[in-house]
Amino acid sequence: MLLRTTVIKVRKLLGFLLCGLVLLSSGHASAAQISNLRLGQGIGSLRIVFDADSKLDYKVFLLSEPERLVVDLKNTDIDKRLENLTDKNTLISGARIGSVGVDGARVVFDLRQPAIVKKVLLLPPQSSFSWRFVVDLEVASAREFASKVGNDHAFTNHENVAASSAKKTSSKRQTAVLPKKKKVIVLDPGHGGVDPGAIGVSGVYEKHITLAMARELKEVLEKNSAYKVYLTRNRDIFIPLRDRVKIARRYDADLFLSIHADSAANRRATGLSVYTLSEKASDKEAAALAEKENKADIVAGLNFAEHSKEVSDILLNLAQRETLNRSSEFATFMVSEMRKSTHTLDNTHRFAGFAVLKAPDVPSVLMELGYLSNRYEEKQLQQKSYRKKLAAAAARAIDRYFQNMQHASVF
C-alpha cells in the first residue's frame, strides 16, 4: 500500500514537471522575432522601423548623460548584427542590443543631438508587410529633450508603465501612442484681402471663387467621419504664401490642397489643371503662372518670394522625395476624377515651383479650377451647383488617395 502511494506521488510530481517544461518551451517558442531594422531619414526627423513576425510589447523612453533612446521589447529576440544598420542618418550615431528582464531585448540608440519621441506605432500585417514597430524621432532643443527624459514620459502599449505616474499622465501617454484617428486635410483658398487674384471678365475676383470652392469641398469632406478639415482662411483676409504652409504643418496635415482660378490673355482658354512642386516647370506657361502666384506676397509688402537662386534651391531641395511622390500620386487621382466631371487642360498634371507647395513633409497639390478670363468658365465657377460637382470629384480623389495609402509602406 505504501509503495503504491509513493508511485502515485512520483507520477504526479513528474506530471507537474512535464507541464512546467511544456509551458516554458511554449513561452520561448512564442517570442517575437525581429528580422530587420530600417531607418527613414526626414528633415529634422528620423523613423525607426523594426520588422517583426508577431505582435510585441514595448516600452520606449529617453535617457540623458549621454543622450540615448531606449527601446525595451518584452519576450523578443533580436539578432545583434542589426546593430550595424544605423549608419547614414543625422540623429543616431550607433546602437547596442542587449537583454532586459527574463526574456526581453533592449536596444539603446546613442543620439547625435537632442531629440524627442513624437509617436510610437505598432502596425499589424498588411499587403506584403508583417508586423512593424515604428518609433518616430524629431530634433528638439536641449530643454525640450530634458523635459521628456525618464520613465514618466515612456511610450508603451501597457497602462502601468510607471506606477508612480499619475493616472492623468498615463492616460495622456496612452492616447499619444495611438495612430491618428482622422486624416487631416488643409484646404487653402488662394489670395484674399488686399490680393484679389485674377479678375474675371465680369469683374469677379478669384479670391471669392476660391473661398466659395473651399467651403463647398470642406462641407463634402466632413460628411466622411475619417476626415478633419481646416481652411487656411475662412474669410476675406490676406495670408502670406509661406504662412499658409506653416498653417498646414501646424495642423499636422496629411494632405494640403491649394485652390486657385486662372486667367489668360487668350479668352478662349479653358480647362481645369493640377500642379505639383517641381524644380523645373513642365512648360513656359506653368513657369509664368508660378511666378505670378508667388509674387502675391509682395502685395502686402511682405516679399517672401524674393530669394536668391541658392536659397530657392535649398527650399526646393527640402521637399522630400517621398512627399513629392505622394503629391504626384494624389494629383493623378485628382486628374482622373476631374476628367469625369469637367473639361481639363491637355497635360492636366503640370509641374511648377509654387511657394505654397513647399512644405517638406506634407503632400501638396495646387488646383486651378479654370479660367476667369473665359466668360463661360467664369459663369460656371460662380454657380454653386458647378462648384458642388467639382467638390464631389475632388472628394472622390481624396478618398482614393487615402485608400491607396493604407496599402503603402510606412516609408
- Domains of the chain by residue range: 31-176, 183-405
| Bond preceding residue 66 cis, omega within 30 of 0 | yes
Cell of 215: 467651403
Query: CATH 2.60.40.3500: does it fit domain 31-176?
Result: yes
8 Å CB contact between 157 and 72 = no
Q: What is the DSSP string of 150-218?
A: SGGG-EESSS-S-TTS-HHHHHHHHHHTSPPSSEEEEEEE--BTTB--SB-TTS-BHHHHHHHHHHHHH
Question: 115 to each of 139, 142, 143, 146, how far by Cα in Å?
Answer: 4, 8, 10, 10
Question: What does the DSSP 8-state code read for residue 43?
Answer: S
Would you say the CATH fold of 183-405 matches that of 31-176? no
What's the confidence (pLDDT) of residue 280? 54
Signed CA dihedral, 91, 97, 98, 99: sign only = positive
Query: Cα–Cα distance between 355 and 117 in angstroms, integer?
Result: 30
Residue 374 CA neighbour count, 13 Å, CB half = 16
The residue assigned the cell 473639361 is 343
> Which of 387, 250, 231, 403 shows the shortest CA–CA distance to 329?
403
DSSP letter, residue 35 = E
Q: Quick one: DSSP state of residue 91?
A: S
Please, are residues 227 and 244 in contact by the beta-carbon 8 Å criterion?
Answer: no
Task: Give residue 125's pLDDT.
Answer: 85
Distances (CA, A) of 223 to 226, 337, 392: 9, 19, 11
Q: Are 223 and 391 in contact (CB under 8 A)?
A: no
Q: Give the DSSP H or E segment for 108.
A: strand 104-111
* Sequential pLDDT tens for the chain (411 residues): 544 544 444 454 444 444 444 444 444 457 888 888 888 887 778 889 888 888 888 999 999 989 999 999 988 888 878 777 766 788 888 889 888 877 888 999 999 899 999 989 888 887 677 888 999 998 888 888 888 998 889 998 864 333 334 444 444 434 444 455 689 999 999 999 999 999 999 999 999 999 999 999 999 999 998 999 999 999 999 998 888 888 988 898 999 999 999 888 888 899 999 988 765 544 554 455 456 555 554 444 434 344 344 434 433 444 455 677 788 889 999 999 999 999 998 888 877 666 666 666 788 898 999 999 999 999 999 999 999 999 999 999 999 998 887 544 444
pLDDT at residue 162, rounded to an integer: 37
Side-chain half-sphere exposure of 30, counting CA atoms within 13 A? 10
Architecture of the domain spanning 183-405: 3-Layer(aba) Sandwich (3.40)
Which helix (H) or strand (E) element contains residue 261? strand 255-262
Distance of CA 77 to the CA centre of its chain: 30
CA distances from 295 to 134, 204, 290, 401 (A): 41, 21, 9, 31
Picking from 242, 194, 185, 238, the residue whose alpha carbon sits closest to that of residue 214 is 185
